[in-house]
Structure 1
Amino acid sequence: MYSEIRSIMLIAAAVLLSACAAVGPNYRAPELKVPTEWQAPQAGKSADVNAWWSRFQDPALSTLLEAAQQENPTLLKAAAAIEKARASRSAAESGFLPSVTASAGTSWSGSLKNGTGTGVTTGATTGTSRSSTAGLDASWEVDLFGKSRRTVESAGALLQAREADWHDARVSLGAEVATTYVDYRGGRLKQKYYEEQADSQAKTAELTALAAKAGFTAPADARLAEASAASTRSTALAQQGECELLVKSLVALTGLPEASVRQTLGADIRALPVPDGLKVTALPADLLRQRPDIVSAERTLASTSALIGAAEAEKYPSFSLSGSVGLSAATGTSLLAPWSFGPTVSLPLFDGGKIAADIKGARADYAAARAGYQQVVRDAVKEVEQALVRLDSVARQEEEAKKSAAGYRAYVSATEANWRVGRASLLDLETARRSAIGAEVTLLDLQQSRLEYWIALYKAVGGGWKSTSGEATRMAQTVSPAPAGKEGELK
């Protein structure tokens, strides 16, 4: 009786101990030093980042973006990673529950009877009996020092990281589709300008050839004019080839048939989309709660921190309860039902330094993840600052380019008026027209660059990604800097 009471007390003590705090560091997001405000100049109007693509007011772009989000291999791969992480978390949670196995079996036994005097076995049997068994085994390891809790904590954080990776892939995909689309629209416009410039140079070559034939100019000038026209035609053809390559890229990004992509783009040459401006009004620290790649890096850091505790738990005793009950019966015997139940305690005494090495490795993984998190944050701030600088620079260049293009257009109009009254030659008019076309191409390059920088800024601020699920909301909250402690300190 005394031994049974002692066993019950041991079991109760073990259950109470299982409520103790898990060993290992309690994770807190590291406090990172970031600027209190953006240093680069701001440009554009305030806009809601979440609905940014709709501000392009371009149905073709909206169609391509929607198609790209459907069956893109990158997104499918990221979704599969989420499912794998979810399965890993479920597997880790199973450590809290007991394991139960059942078994059953039946066997027959007997002996073969030999033939008389012949030494040959006849195959007859004698003394046949049957025995049946059934059993149930159960075991439960009590989570005394939090190994299972830390493992579940790590798996849960890793699941949140994979969810953020999916959002990051979605943002990157949208930015890539939009950039390719803008390049295509700009390329078609440049092709048009180059073709117009080639036509103008062809006319100049004709006039120069006539002048050379009449002896008013050197034959070399006529050759030079022909060469310039051929060079510009070559540039136009090269630009046409680049546009074809961009169509192939859109096919690969969206998964649509090429005929559908071409139908969406249209055969006509369209102007570049003109979206509303985007102004970054959030503070740099708020960026940490908006970029999914930063959330992923922080959640990965939390996962590695929890694995330190799981490794340290191996240093301490483990306590498990196990029991079994079985049924057995044989021919001619009564039914038996043996059972057993009892606690088991194991303590690692010597392992050749494996546990210490595992703990050291887990801490090294945490240090690497912390450095990776710091780098991602620094890169994020750099990308926003650089995008703002580029936007400001190209905006100021665009203003000057607009003045230049307007001036050249006015000069063409004046030259054409003089040509009509005989005050300017056709050669002067074509030269003025080519200068105007060159100014228009320069302005187009700046407008295209500005759109691409807007897209880069959209991506740099996280693409307007916001959490919708409870886990994703927790991801955003845990990125906030810790109220105290050194950077990346483990408590």
Structure 2
Amino acid sequence: MTTIRGTAQRTLAAGIVLALGGCALQAPPAAVAPGAPAQWQASLPHNGKLTDLANWWQGQGDSLLVELITDAQQASPTIAAAGTRIVQARADRIASGARLAPALDATGSVLRTSQQSAQPSGTTSQAALQASWEIDVFGATRATRDAAQERYDSARALWHEARVSVAAEVANQYYALRTCQQLQAVSEQDAVSRRDSARLTQLSAGAGFQPPANAALARASAADGASRAIEQRAACDVNIKALVALSSMPEPTLRQKLAASPFVAPSPVAIAQLPAQTLAQRPDIYSAEREVAAASFEVRGAQAQRYPRLSLAGAIGKGNIRAGGSSITASTWSIGPLAVSLPIFDGGRRLAEVDAATARYAQAVLKYRAGVRQAVREVEEALVNLASTDERSGHAKAALEGYRVSFVATEDRYKNGLASLIELEDARRTRLAAENTALNLERERSAAWVALYRAAGGGWNSSNAIAHNAP
């Protein structure tokens, strides 16, 4: 018994020494500089401070938009798939972490034997606990566990990225529909105006005050206006069906809520911090950074596979033998073997795996930095578009007001016989184009705000979102 106890102590001491040596080899991955510029090159809107974007939709004062986004996020297969990836990543993390601890299995068996001899029949029953442990001397298993943890965090960040993407897609579709409805109202008013002009021209031509050609031109203008109104109404119906598909809200319900809810233009998003601080709010950038860390751990794991492996096993059990009316019970236990596996020749397989892991790490770094550059581009483009719409907005409103006044004056002159029908139609087309330009400019502005919301991360923050909100 003394010899066995001494062997167990020496085995444990050797395992501790090797494990401590392995801990010295493991180090966290080095941080990778994202390469973000020191400041934004485009002008910042309103020179405000960066606000929490997470509640931006609620702050718009448009309850229907919030409802549509909520419904779409619940019905989105993209978000559901991201949630599934989280579950799989969590399972991988748990499995890789479990390999650091000893494995314990329970076994049991019953055997009945009968021999054609003088020996009596017997029953043998056994129950045992068997333990095995691969001691992670050089950190290979720890590297696998840490890589799985990084990918788990990456998967949770991508779940938030999917939610931001769905919210932005719904908002863009919603604002496009609202603009379409405004354009439809303009086209219907224009169609009514053209129809009235055609009616008056027909009466005037019938009385002989105008040539038949003017009546034909007026009728053609009225038909063109009616066609434009029908086309615009169809475009709005298509937009409604797109929203139905995104949100899963029944179309009759959506139409009722659209009719009952006033349109609210999107409010500003203030961005004034440095690019590196703003981009820290993007879940896709955080995810790419976690992928770099995971790839770094995988390099360490591949390197550790080239070193010796140490494993320890043990068992404790109890057995019973019954034969010829007698019963014998015995208990057994064992520690060992303490086995060491030393790789000598593998045809270069382990070295090739290290090279492959190193290449994947380099690819992850390049992908991360490219993602940062793309994120900077998206923010800058949104800022440029916002600045452009700001500068053009005043000119578009002034042009629209002037063309409206000109059309009213030309229409009055036409009714009094002081202007030709061609002049009236030219003024009408110019006014209609100005109306459409002003409305499309507002739509462009809404799209730029949504793009800035998405480019700035949608209010996601790694310090709290990863800990609380992901499934």
Normalised to the residue count of structure 1, the TM-score between the two structures is 0.85
Query: After alignment, is 7-16 or 310-319 more displaced?
Result: 7-16
Distance between the aligned counterparts of 2:113 and 2:58, measured in 1?
Answer: 80
> Aligned residue for 1:306?
297
- 1:133 offset after TM fit, Å? 1.9
> Aligned residue for 1:72?
76
1:335 aligns with 2:329: yes
- 1:38 offset after TM fit, Å? 0.7
Distance between the aligned counterparts of 2:235 and 2:422, measured in 1?
Answer: 32
User: Contact 2:111–2:124 (CA<8 Å) still a contact in 1?
Assistant: yes
**Residue 279 of structure 1 aligns to a residue in which SS?**
coil
- 1:35 offset after TM fit, Å? 1.6
Aligned equivalent of 1:453, options 436, 448, 456 = 448
Distance between the aligned counterparts of 1:7 and 1:131, measured in 2?
Answer: 30
Aligned equivalent of 2:113, options 109, 112, 116 = 109
User: Contact 1:111–1:128 (CA<8 Å) still a contact in 2?
Assistant: yes
- 1:206 offset after TM fit, Å? 4.3
Cα 1:3–1:341 shift into 2, 3 Å: closer
Query: After alignment, is 240-249 or 175-184 more displaced?
Result: 240-249
**Residue 459 of structure 2 aligns to a residue in which SS?**
coil
Distance between the aligned counterparts of 1:159 and 1:420, measured in 2?
Answer: 73
User: Contact 1:419–1:429 (CA<8 Å) still a contact in 2?
Assistant: yes
1:183 aligns with 2:187: no
**Residue 457 of structure 2 aligns to a residue in which SS?**
coil
Distance between the aligned counterparts of 1:226 and 1:23, measured in 2?
Answer: 87
- 1:203 offset after TM fit, Å? 3.5
Distance between the aligned counterparts of 1:133 and 1:50, measured in 2?
Answer: 61
Residues 130-169 of structure 1 correspond to what in structure 2 (within 5 A)? 130-169=123-162
1:273-309 deviation per Cα after TM superposition (whole angstroms, max 9, x unaligned): 2233223111111123111110011101111111111
User: Contact 1:24–1:312 (CA<8 Å) still a contact in 2?
Assistant: no
User: Contact 1:291–1:461 (CA<8 Å) still a contact in 2?
Assistant: yes
Cα 1:422–1:45 shift into 2, 3 Å: farther
Distance between the aligned counterparts of 1:264 and 1:112, measured in 2?
Answer: 89
Cα 1:210–1:82 shift into 2, 3 Å: same
> Aligned residue for 2:288?
297
- 1:215 offset after TM fit, Å? 7.1
**Residue 75 of structure 2 aligns to a residue in which SS?**
coil
Distance between the aligned counterparts of 2:127 and 2:467, measured in 1?
Answer: 48
Cα 1:212–1:430 shift into 2, 3 Å: same
1:8 aligns with 2:1: no
Query: After alignment, is 181-190 or 255-264 more displaced?
Result: 255-264
> Aligned residue for 1:18?
19
Cα 1:172–1:262 shift into 2, 3 Å: same
Residues 466-481 of structure 1 correspond to what in structure 2 (within 5 A)? 466-467=461-462, 469=464, 472=467
1:435 aligns with 2:434: no
Provide the aligned C-alpha RMSD in A: 2.9
Cα 1:231–1:418 shift into 2, 3 Å: closer
Distance between the aligned counterparts of 1:293 and 1:417, measured in 2?
Answer: 59
> Aligned residue for 1:28?
30
User: Contact 2:286–2:462 (CA<8 Å) still a contact in 1?
Assistant: no
Distance between the aligned counterparts of 1:437 and 1:213, measured in 2?
Answer: 29
- 1:213 offset after TM fit, Å? 6.2
1:65-93 deviation per Cα after TM superposition (whole angstroms, max 9, x unaligned): 22223332222221121111111111111
> Aligned residue for 1:264?
257
Number of residue pairs aligned between Structure 1 and Structure 2: 461
- 1:9 offset after TM fit, Å? 2.8
Aligned equivalent of 2:59, options 47, 55, 60 = 55
Question: Whose helix proportion is higher, 1 or 2?
Answer: 2
- 1:411 offset after TM fit, Å? 2.4
> Aligned residue for 2:245?
252
Cα 1:240–1:22 shift into 2, 3 Å: farther
Structure 1 unmatched runs, 5+:
114-124, 474-491
> Aligned residue for 2:354?
359
> Aligned residue for 1:84?
88
Cα 1:235–1:296 shift into 2, 3 Å: same
Distance between the aligned counterparts of 1:416 and 1:228, measured in 2?
Answer: 14
Distance between the aligned counterparts of 2:239 and 2:320, measured in 1?
Answer: 78
- 1:367 offset after TM fit, Å? 1.3
> Aligned residue for 1:276?
267
Query: After alignment, is 221-230 or 96-105 more displaced?
Result: 221-230
**Residue 396 of structure 1 aligns to a residue in which SS?**
helix
**Residue 140 of structure 1 aligns to a residue in which SS?**
strand
**Residue 111 of structure 2 aligns to a residue in which SS?**
strand
1:332-365 deviation per Cα after TM superposition (whole angstroms, max 9, x unaligned): 4632334321211111112222211211111111
Query: After alignment, is 254-263 or 369-378 more displaced?
Result: 254-263
AA aligned to 1:38 is W
* Identical pairs, percent: 39
Distance between the aligned counterparts of 1:472 and 1:379, measured in 2?
Answer: 27
- 1:153 offset after TM fit, Å? 0.7
User: Contact 1:312–1:359 (CA<8 Å) still a contact in 2?
Assistant: yes
